[in-house]
A = this chain, B = another copy of it.
Amino acid sequence: MNVSMLMDLYELTMAYSYFKSSRNEISTFEVFIRNLPENRNFLVSAGIDDIIEIIINFRFEEDDIKYLRSLKIFSEDFLEYLKKFKFTGDLYAMPNGQIYFPNEPVIRITAPRIQAQMFETIVLNQFNFQSMIASKCARITLASRNIPCVDFSPRRDHGIDSAIKVAKVSYMCGFIGTSNLLAGKLYNIPVYGTMAHSYIMSFDSEEEAFREFLKRFSEPVLLIDTYDTIEGAKKVIKLLKEGYRIKGVRIDSGDLVKLSKEVKKIFENEGFGNIKIFLSGDLDEYVIENILNEGAVADFFGIGTKMGTSSDAPYLNGVYKLVEDEYGFKIKTSPQKLTLPGKKQVYRIYENGLMKEDIIVLEDDKINGEPLLKKYIENGKLVERIALESSRKLFMENLLKIPPYLKNIKTQEMVYPVKISKKLLEIQESLIKSF
């Protein structure tokens, strides 16, 4: 399966028209978000690693050409052109793990028009989804107050590509690992997991199930809520007294605040206060904040469905827009869809180590501050690959620079200031007038 073909048909009909009309001038397209989804105070860049790989390896294979020919809408000379297709342009992007805001260009592609237009769907598919997950995970990392989180989402993620990339992106955003073996293997992420309720139910008694498991693994985490959590904890105490070594227990259902406190107390009273408590079951940043405020005891969180689907904001509305070509600046004036013209850069200004404001400017207008868009592809050649560990490091550093008012998991009155340079606004205004 050649993922280059993940494009909307219109990209090829447009390309065909440009090809036939010789309208293949150098053009610049930018990806940006129009509005923050509900309850989001900032967003996190992600998926740039995959986008880079897809673009530098972008090809049409023999059977793709055959399929396109079968549609009977393209001429042979165009299909010949596609056979030799190769990206020769530039790609700038905010690195994975960078914090960004609405209207800021996050990805910028400059290339002959046909090429640049070709990537719209695949770039948006990967960016919208991965950035949405990263932005969700950032919130969970903030809410969990340094209690380590593990990705438990694969069974509810939207398919295979989703499951492996949710594992990757959650790790980038501070999670310590995943239950997902495929992701563990592909990305070298630590893997976690022990047993399901079905394991307990496969033995005559819960105690027998625990004993069997302890024969095979040293210091496992035992699942204690299959029948009755408190009774489960008491069985663990019995085994601990027999000398078995257990890392911790997992509670996956019921009143997590009440049960985690009671279980912790049972262990402490018996001299096993070192036993870790692993909580899971429909957790997200809202639940975590609530249960921690109510005194839940937790050493680890297993985070599944609501993170892996970003359930309270299950899509990002990132768009891919033409901003400039050899004929000049370009804007779209559809209602509520006005765009900013020109090839742009975003500068970030810090104060006392915290993010103070961003300024969107035309690329050539250098100003004092940190430029957020970095060069990843130049003339079709890879400039720099993005490693997961360095993205994770960047994200964790950025987390310390986010001003406190943006760290609240509820929407804030105060929004982060994103300024647009005077020059840019003047160009936009003159373009609107010209219609």
Contacts from A to B (Cβ < 8 Å): 1-3, 5-14, 16-18, 20-21, 23, 27, 29, 63-64, 67-68, 71, 73, 113, 117, 120-121, 124-126, 128-129, 152, 154-165, 179-182, 184-186, 191-199, 201-204, 212-213, 215-217, 220, 225-228, 252-254, 305-306, 309-311, 314-318, 320-322, 325, 327, 330-337, 435
Contact = CB atoms under 8 A, between A and B. Distances in A.
Contacts of A435: 227-228
A156 B309 CA distance: 12
B179 A9 contact: yes
B159 A129 contact: yes
A228 to B, nearest CB: 8
Given A21-B215, A202-B322, A7 B336 contact: no
A162 B310 CA distance: 15
12 contacts: A8-B155, A17-B212, A21-B215, A21-B216, A67-B184, A128-B156, A160-B161, A161-B162, A198-B322, A227-B333, A253-B334, A305-B315
Contact of A155 (B23, B125, B193): B125
Contacts of A16: 216
A432 B255 CA distance: 21
Contact of A252 (B8, B12, B14, B334): B334
Contact of A8 (B29, B71, B179, B204): B179
A408 B281 CA distance: 32
A97 to B, nearest CB: 19
A59 B46 CA distance: 31
B27 A125 contact: no
Contacts of A158: 129, 157-159, 161-162, 309
A126 B8 CA distance: 23
A14 to B, nearest CB: 5
B129 A182 contact: no
Given A311-B315, A337-B253, A198 B155 contact: no
A10 B196 contact: yes
Given A155-B121, A182-B5, A199 B14 contact: yes
A167 B164 CA distance: 21
A416 to B, nearest CB: 24
Contact of A315 (B113, B125, B156, B193): B156
Contact of A309 (B1, B10, B226, B314): B314
A59 B34 CA distance: 45
B212 A21 contact: yes
Contact of A13 (B18, B217, B320): B217
A124 B9 contact: no
Nearest to A64: B185
A320 B192 CA distance: 20
Given A182-B1, A202-B18, A156 B194 contact: no
A162 B163 contact: no
A2 to B, nearest CB: 8
A314 B160 CA distance: 16
Contacts of A6: 154, 160, 163-164, 180-182
